[in-house]
Every structure is written in structure tokens, then in C-alpha cells.
Chains A and B, each alone.
Chain A
Amino acid sequence: MSWITNFLTSSLGKKLVMSLTGLFLIIFLVVHLAGNLQLLFDDGGEAFNIYAHMMSTDPLISVVAYGLYFFILLHMVQGILIAIQNRGARKVKYAVGNRKSNTFASRNMMLLGLLIFFFLAVHMGDFWYKMKFTNDLDMVTYAGYDAAVRDLYTRVNAAFQEWWIVLIYIIGLIALALHLWHGFQSAFQTLGLNHKKYTPIIQGLGKIYSIVIPIGFAIIPLYYFFVK
């Protein structure tokens, strides 16, 4: 084996892949939330639809998007493989469990990750798939914008009138919050960034991030369901 495969299949190399893909997804969430908050504008969906059109047609964004799909799958597959290997490292389990020395989130990263994945399947099946691969969405035109764009806004509005879709979103976002609660600071520790000067800052930022971002996302379905 070459030094690269030796490295990537070592326990530390596998951790590094989880850390770097995780940090990429953490940055993505900020961008995604910033774009989605346009759904809260009272403009009949104009800003959001034009934004969604740009996101699905701009060639540079397409390249980044395919990178994103790849990193999500890599993070997921690698995470599952690591979790299976870790469980296998103790064939005879303890009779008395120990819940005192670590957090629920840190013990259950794979379970939380799978919940997020099932949420993603529903989420992307409803919006991304319909936007890119079907003609289910009507075309609309806006003054001052040349091209006709797909009316994703109306689909979002319809979806968030269904209580069960809103419920799936809330469950998915709670899982995301817990996953980030452990994952944010964990990514930095894996990179080797741990020092008494800045580790408390990273941990604090991680806690703020893991609460604020999921709440930001949750506001959208809740606003459409209860207010609109």
C-alpha cells in the first residue's frame, strides 16, 4: 500500500476525513440558512425563487454542489464504517453501562447522523428532486429578471402546511443540533487543535452554533405552518 492509503485507512486518517468533511458541512449550513431565510420575506417568493434559480443553474455553484453531495456521502459512509468497527472492538459488553463519563450526543453520533440522513432524503426528495428533475413546479417570471424561474416558493409553502412534514423537519433539526453539539468541537480536537487558550472558545462557539443554526432553520417551517 502507498503511504496515502496507509494514512487514510489508519485510525487517525479516518478521523481526519470525518473532521474535514464535517467542517465543510458546518460551513455549508451557514450558507444554506442565509439563502433560506429569504423565505421569510413578504414578497410572494420573488427573492427566494430567483435565488433558487441562480443556485441550480450557475456552473460554479454546480461544481460546489456535487462536492457537497460527495462529502455528505463520504461523511456518512465513513461514519457508519467507523461506528461498526468501534462497536466490534468490544465483543463482550458490560453488564452495567456508564452514562456518567460522556454525553448522550457523543455516544450516539451514528444514530443522530442516520436521523439527519432520513430527514435529508425527505427534504431533498420534496424540493431538490422536484426542482431539478421534474416539471412539477410552475414557471414564473419577475419584472427585472430575464429568465422564467421555477416556483419553488409555492411548493415550500404547500409542504409546510402539512403537520407531518413540519414534524419531520423539527425531528431532523433536533438531531442536527445534537450532532453538532458534539461534532463542532470534536472536529477541532481531531485536527489537533486543543489548547487551554482557545479550546474553551471553540467549545463555546460550538454550543452557540449548534443551537442557533437549527433554530434558524426551524423558524421557516414553523412560520409557514402557524403564521402564514
Chain B
Amino acid sequence: MKLKLKIWRQKNQNSKGKFSNYTVEASPEMSFLEMLDVLNQQLIENKEEPVAFEHDCREGICGTCSMVINGQPHGPMGLTTTCQLHMRHYKDGDTIVIEPFRANSFPVIKDLVVDRASFDRIIEAGGFISVNTGQAPDGNTIPIEQDEAKKSFDAAACIGCGACVAACPNSSAMLFTSAKVAHLGYLPQGQVEQGKRVKRMVVQMDKEGFGNCSNTYACEAECPKGISVANIAKMNRAYFSAVVSTDEK
């Protein structure tokens, strides 16, 4: 199948980018990233600069691949990362517009590669549990209720890819931050530091310049891991309670 590609090319963070047009010969069983590999091989053979894009596991679990495909982060398929999107969903002669995730807090490094370190800084601010080192405790020493464990696990499915920010009309990072807050907050080990954690993570999220949530739920619709906006409600509850119960300002 022959495809027309319109890809965002940008030399570095400070340069002004623009779209460039390419044509590529792909086959339906290829993944989207393999199709881009074919394009890059073609560019290298023509002594042109290959398109920079991020990828790692190519199994849909690492959250490295990004890019917005025809207006949708990770492309048109629900619950699918870019690496798990296959060319059989496109037709011969289709035009595909590929852009980087767009948000001030995700500056473009090169072409389709964006800097998502703002997410790392939100985690550093409080998205962890302080534990004693030493031997692993015996299993089942801390009773965990089954339903709560399931909710925690569902939130932990967040791979931190940033599609929520990319999809949000406000570039808000609430779904990501709330998934991390809920993941730890549903478990007894995480509840000890819950108040301080949620406050510090929200402060860092605001400091990074993400927009405010206006409950459009575009994040949930585009999330490749199906993270629910119920986590945002949980984060709001935890934050409001932390504001009046923790000693920190």
C-alpha cells in the first residue's frame, strides 16, 4: 500500500518546525513504527535526515512511543499505543498527518520527540512510598481488600506516555497525576503519605505549566491504557482533604 505522510520536522528545541511530505510503500501487517522505519531507511539511502521518533519496547507497555496521528494521540484505535497500531487500519492512498505531542510542558526536542521530564518531576515530588530496606516482608502480612487492590492495579496500568496531556484541549496532566495518586493511595502502604504526596504532586503539576482540567474527558477517551477519570475525582477528594488536614502550607 502506498501512503502519503505529512510529518512535523523540527531540527531542535529552538528552531521553528514545519511539515514535510513523504510517500512510503508499506504493507498491512506492519506496525505504525515499522512503517516509519521503512521511511527512515528510504531517507537514509537518499542521504536525507531520518525522522526522529521515540520507541522502546514496541509491545505497548513502556509508554515511550508518542506522536499524534491525524489529530489523535497514538492514532485512531482505542486502548492502543502507536507501536501496537497496525497499517491494516489504513487504506492504499491514505494521507496521514503525524505531529508531536503538543504542550508547553512537553517541549519538542527534535521532529516527533518531546521532552516528558515534567512527568518525572511530578513523580519525584511525591509519587513514591518511603519503605524500610531489608528483607522482604512475608506475603499477606498487610491485608489488602480485593476491590481496592483492583482499583489500584487499574490506576497502575498508566504507562506515563503523556497521551492525556496531548489529547486534552487544556494540556492538563490531571489524568496522569491522578493515576499515580490513586495507584498508591488505594493501598495501605501508600495511605501513610497520601496527604503530603497529593499536595506536593499537585503543586509540581501546576509549576510545570500544565493547564487546568475542565472535565472534557478527552484524556480518558485517548488513553491507551483506559485510565478512568474516576481517578481524577479521587485525587480531588484526596487533595481537598489534605489541604485542611496536613500541617504543610
Q: Name A's B-contacting residues (CB within 8 A).
A: 1-3, 6-7, 10-16, 82, 85-98, 100-103, 106-107, 109, 182, 185-186, 189-196, 199
* Overall SS of chain B's interface: mixed
Return chain B residues, CB-CB under 8 Å to A12: 202, 235-236, 239-240
Q: How distant is the Cα of A32 from the Cα of B33 in the complex, in angstroms? A: 58
- Let me know if B61 is at the binding interface, CB within 8 A: no
User: B202, A11: Cβ atoms under 8 Å?
Assistant: yes
Q: Which of B97, B108, B209, B249 contacts A6 (CB 8 A)?
A: B249
- Let me know if B68 is at the binding interface, CB within 8 A: yes
Q: Which of B102, B172, B236 contacts A191 (CB 8 A)?
A: B236
User: B237, A86: Cβ atoms under 8 Å?
Assistant: no
- Let me know if B123 is at the binding interface, CB within 8 A: no
Instruction: Tell me whether A107 and B71 are in contact in the complex, defined as CB-CB below 8 angstroms, given that A96-B99, A186-B214, A192-B234 are known contacts.
Output: no
Further contacts, 12 of them, CB under 8 A, given A1-B249, A3-B249, A109-B214: A3-B243, A11-B210, A11-B213, A86-B169, A96-B97, A102-B216, A102-B221, A186-B215, A190-B215, A194-B230, A194-B233, A194-B234
User: A102, B234: Cβ atoms under 8 Å?
Assistant: no
Give per-residue flags for B47-77: 1 if the beta carbon is below 8 A from chain A beta carbons, else 0.
Answer: 0000000000000000000001011100000
User: A106, B217: Cβ atoms under 8 Å?
Assistant: yes
Return chain B residues, CB-CB under 8 Å to A16: 236, 240
- Let me know if B112 is at the binding interface, CB within 8 A: no
Q: Name B's A-contacting residues (CB within 8 A).
A: 6, 8, 19, 68, 70-72, 97, 99, 102-105, 108, 167, 169-172, 174, 202-203, 205-206, 209-218, 221-222, 229-230, 232-237, 239-240, 243, 249
Instruction: Tell me whether A195 and B230 are in contact in the complex, defined as CB-CB below 8 angstroms, given that A7-B243, A89-B171 are known contacts.
Output: yes
Q: How distant is the Cα of A43 from the Cα of B234 in the complex, in angstroms? A: 52
Q: How distant is the Cα of A186 from the Cα of B170 in the complex, in angstroms? A: 15
Q: Which of B205, B215, B222 contacts A189 (CB 8 A)?
A: B215
Instruction: Tell me whether A98 and B71 are in contact in the complex, defined as CB-CB below 8 angstroms, given that A86-B170, A106-B215, A192-B236 are known contacts.
Output: yes
- Shortest Cβ distance from residue A137 to the other chain B in the assembled complex, whole angstroms: 41
Return chain A residues, CB-CB under 8 Å to B202: 10-12
Q: How distant is the Cα of A6 from the Cα of B249 in the complex, in angstroms? A: 7
Return chain A residues, CB-CB under 8 Å to B102: 90, 92-94
Can you offer 12 A-B residue contacts whose CB atoms are under 8 A? A3-B243, A3-B249, A10-B203, A12-B239, A16-B236, A85-B211, A94-B99, A95-B6, A97-B71, A98-B222, A101-B221, A101-B222
